[in-house]
């Protein structure tokens, strides 16, 4: 059975799909994260094995999620997954990989003997410092490209929009 699109949907004006805010935000985030990883790959203070992984595109958005969301004091896997917006299973796989790279370790939770906490290793803390430096430089490059005033407005707008989520 052949169905036809309503005339309003069949119009050639399809540009909105490429230029709506969500798509632009996604492109901007991917560009920003790629730049951060590029900077980390060149940072001599980032452990060599990890900078090599970043240079070979072995480190991706999921690894950045872990870097952004893991508390300095460590987190339970379920809390980390929830904060990163990932399933517990996906986060467990990511933690396994990062543990193999020496970024994190699993330790006993001092508040619950049955639970484990994911914690940064010393290598992971060096990675985190490299991440901080790369984010700072990428933000400075963004400001230089779009202008300080626009960058400030964008930051304020994104803070307001992201904060309006109210946990939903």
Q: Strands 104-109 and 75-76, how do they pair?
A: unpaired
CA trace torsion 16, 140, 162, 82 (10° rounding): 110
Domains of the chain and CATH, by start: 27-155 (1.10.10.10)
Strand order in the sheet with 104-109: 75-76, 112-120, 104-109
The two structure tokens encoding residue 145: 């490209």
Over its length of 168 residues, how does the chain's per-residue pLDDT go in tens digits? Answer: 565 655 555 556 778 888 888 989 999 998 998 898 888 888 777 766 666 666 666 677 677 778 889 999 999 999 999 998 889 999 999 999 999 888 899 999 888 888 899 999 998 998 889 889 999 999 999 999 999 999 999 999 999 998 865 544
Q: Which of helix, strand or coil describes residue 167? A: coil
Cβ of 143: how many Cβ atoms within 10 Å?
16
């Amino acid at each position: 059975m052949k169905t036809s699109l309503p005339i309003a949907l069949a119009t050639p004006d399809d540009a909105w799909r490429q230029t709506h805010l969500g798509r632009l935000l996604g492109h901007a985030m991917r560009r920003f994260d790629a730049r951060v990883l590029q900077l980390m790959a060149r940072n001599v203070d980032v452990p060599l094995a990890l900078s090599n992984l970043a240079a070979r595109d072995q480190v991706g958005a999921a690894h950045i999620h872990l870097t952004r969301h893991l508390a300095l004091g460590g987190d339970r896997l379920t809390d980390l997954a929830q904060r990163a917006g990932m399933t517990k299973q996906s986060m467990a796989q990511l933690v396994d990989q990062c543990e193999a790279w020496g970024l994190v370790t699993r330790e006993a939770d001092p508040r619950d003997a049955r639970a484990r906490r994911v914690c940064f290793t010393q290598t992971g803390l060096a990675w985190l410092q490299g991440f901080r430096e790369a984010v700072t430089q990428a933000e400075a490059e963004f400001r230089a490209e779009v202008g300080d005033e626009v960058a400030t407005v964008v930051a304020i707008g994104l803070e307001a929009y992201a904060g309006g989520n109210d946990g939903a």
